[in-house]
Amino acid sequence: TRLVSAPALTRRAFLTRSAALGAALALPLSRVHAATVRDFTLTPAPAEAALVGAPHPPTAVWAYDGSIPGPELRVRRGDRLRVAVENGLPAPTTVHWHGLRLPNAMDGVAHVTQAPIAPGERFVYEFDAQDAGTFWYHPHYASAEQLERGLSGVLVVEEDEPLRVDRDVVWVLNDWRLDREAAILEDFGNGMDMSHAGRLGNTVTLNGRIPDAFAVSTGERLRLRLVNVANARIFALRFEGELPVVVARDGHPVAPHEPPEGIVLLGPGMRIDLVLDCAGNPGARNSIVDVFPREPYRVVDLAYGETPLRQDPLDASLVLAPNPVPEPDLASAERLDVVFEGGMMGGMRGGPGAMRAMIMRGLAWAVNGVADDGMHDLPPILTVESGRSVVLDLVNETAWWHPIHLHGHAFRILERDGAPEPHAPLADTALMAPRERMRIAFVAEGAGDWLLHCHVLEHQAGGMSAILRVV
Ligand code: C2O
Ligand code: CU
């Protein structure tokens, strides 16, 4: 499903309208050229979805506009989005724009950047799509429950000059914990999931259903936008018989390269754009297998049609133009260690007493010794001026994997366990292995409180979240 936006309003029309409403909006002058305003409405509400398919009954879900995944929002770089969210849920909600660099007030974090949107109420998000790439949106209120019930969707921001491909395809990977009637098990936020690997499900879906095969043609060039919206499942995808090339990560272009050992590693919240020159024989099938350390299983087959599209791969560049993300200055940067602790087989620097105190509050994880209970009313771990460069040494002192997400920024991954990170990619979510250290750097942008948290949503609910304050 793709939303067609309402007739575009010009920036001038927008300005006149907001002025009439008395809205005080600080608009950078450089952006007052003719940005196109794209209007969307999203209605999160209870719905049904055929996740599993016959003979199983449909699954009761929460969905944006009745669709799993939510409607694909597609805009051009430089467009201004105006998204009205009308809450049709029996619970409060918000919408967070994962990976976008936007004004803090539009970041959608309940209790931090806005009050939750009550049932029946409406909230309008409005921001510019500064960067091209693959992004996504989801609630940031009771996230562990609301994403698990089905609330998430993809936002594609097209480049000024997109790659030349035969097809641009979005694959939303999700993981559900269903019972025999294909109903969602409502054991959200239990202590077992919280203190271990998060809520792993038993049903993996691609674009909202258990897939069998995805039809391609031999010689066809796909741009495959992989988005992991699962609460906790990490995917390690091996493309049998194919050589995928990574061209972007969390939306931001990287030097085109084959993934290490041919495996595309995708933690919760992460996106990877691949180019695939389909190489299988006409009429054949190749499997895409998840080989993350546990029982490997087939995610989907590529099924090659009888008629090849072309003999030799398309002769076109795989290099995307970079986004206008400011480059951090390492020499003058503010530096901070960010230590993640807790979980089973973990422990805390503060000793068993600190661990016990945390568990008494129903929490399991801490960042620099403090566990966030979700109201986010803790002192920030760092306060910096906008424009200042920041280097964070992330230290995973736990026995678990954690995809660490920073709101509102794209950071460079510089090092992992002291070794330079290949391609030093820009990212908004970086997967840390147990006991791993990672050095990231970015320029603090935009006054406000920005979350830094684990995107295993049960870990986040269990305290693994902190605030970075930009002033
Ligand atoms: Cu994708 Cu704090 O979120
Ligand atoms: Cu985690």
Q: Which ligand is closest to the CA of 270, given by its number?
A: 1
Task: Say how many Å lie between the CA of residue 336 and the centre of ligand 2.
Answer: 20
Task: Say how many Å lie between the CA of residue 461 and the centre of ligand 2.
Answer: 10
User: Do 9-158 and 334-470 fold alike per CATH?
Assistant: yes
Q: Which ligand is closest to the CA of 463, given by its number?
A: 2
CATH entry 2.60.40.420 includes domain 334-470: yes
Q: In angstroms, rounded to a whole number, what is the distance separating the alpha carbons of residues 377 and 371?
A: 11
Q: Which ligand is closest to the CA of 100, given by its number?
A: 1
Amino acid 239: pLDDT: 98
Q: Is 140 in the pocket of ligand 1 (CB under 6 A)?
A: yes
Class of domain 167-304: mainly beta
Q: Which ligand is closest to the CA of 146, given by its number?
A: 1
CA 3 to chain centroid? 20
Task: Say how many Å lie between the CA of residue 355 and the centre of ligand 2.
Answer: 16
End-to-end CA distance of the chain: 40
Q: Is 198 in the pocket of ligand 1 (CB under 6 A)?
A: no
Task: Say how many Å lie between the CA of residue 405 and the centre of ligand 1.
Answer: 7
Strand order in the sheet with 271-277: 203-206, 167-176, 221-228, 271-277, 245-249, 252-257
Domain ranges of the chain: 9-158, 167-304, 334-470
Q: Is 409 in the pocket of ligand 1 (CB under 6 A)?
A: no
Q: Which ligand is closest to the CA of 456, given by its number?
A: 2
Amino acid 33: pLDDT: 55
Task: Say how many Å lie between the CA of residue 53 and the centre of ligand 2.
Answer: 32
Q: Is 271 in the pocket of ligand 1 (CB under 6 A)?
A: no
| ipTM greater than cut 0.95 | yes
> Encoding tokens for residue 188?
């959200």
Q: Which atom of ligand 1 is nearest to the CA of 109?
A: 2
Task: Say how many Å lie between the CA of residue 350 and the centre of ligand 1.
Answer: 28
CA 277 to chain centroid? 25
Q: Is 233 in the pocket of ligand 1 (CB under 6 A)?
A: no
Q: Is 221 in the pocket of ligand 1 (CB under 6 A)?
A: no
Taking only the tens place, the pLDDT of each residue in 66-100 is 999 999 999 999 999 999 999 999 999 999 999 99
One-letter amino acid of 316: A
Amino acid 27: pLDDT: 46
Share of the chain above pLDDT 90, in %: 85
Task: Say how many Å lie between the CA of residue 317 and the centre of ligand 2.
Answer: 37
Taking only the tens place, the pLDDT of each residue in 219-267 is 999 999 999 999 999 999 999 999 999 999 999 999 999 999 999 999 9
Taking only the tens place, the pLDDT of each residue in 279-319 is 999 999 999 999 998 889 999 999 999 999 998 889 999 99
Amino acid 6: pLDDT: 37
Q: Is 456 in the pocket of ligand 1 (CB under 6 A)?
A: no
Taking only the tens place, the pLDDT of each residue in 319-348 is 999 999 999 999 999 999 999 999 988 778
Q: In angstroms, rounded to a whole number, what is the distance separating the alpha carbons of residues 44 and 70?
A: 9
Q: Which atom of ligand 1 is nearest to the CA of 429?
A: 1
Mean pLDDT for 365-387 is 94
In this structure, the residue with its CA closest to atom 3 of ligand 1 is 98
Q: In angstroms, rounded to a whole number, what is the distance separating the alpha carbons of residues 246 and 255?
A: 8
Provide the residues around ligand 2 (an ion) whose CB is within 5 A. Answer: 402, 454, 456, 459
CATH entry 3.40.50.740 includes domain 9-158: no
Respond yes or no on whether the N-terminal peptide bond of residue 324 is cis (omega within 30° of 0): no
Q: Which atom of ligand 1 is nearest to the CA of 99?
A: 1
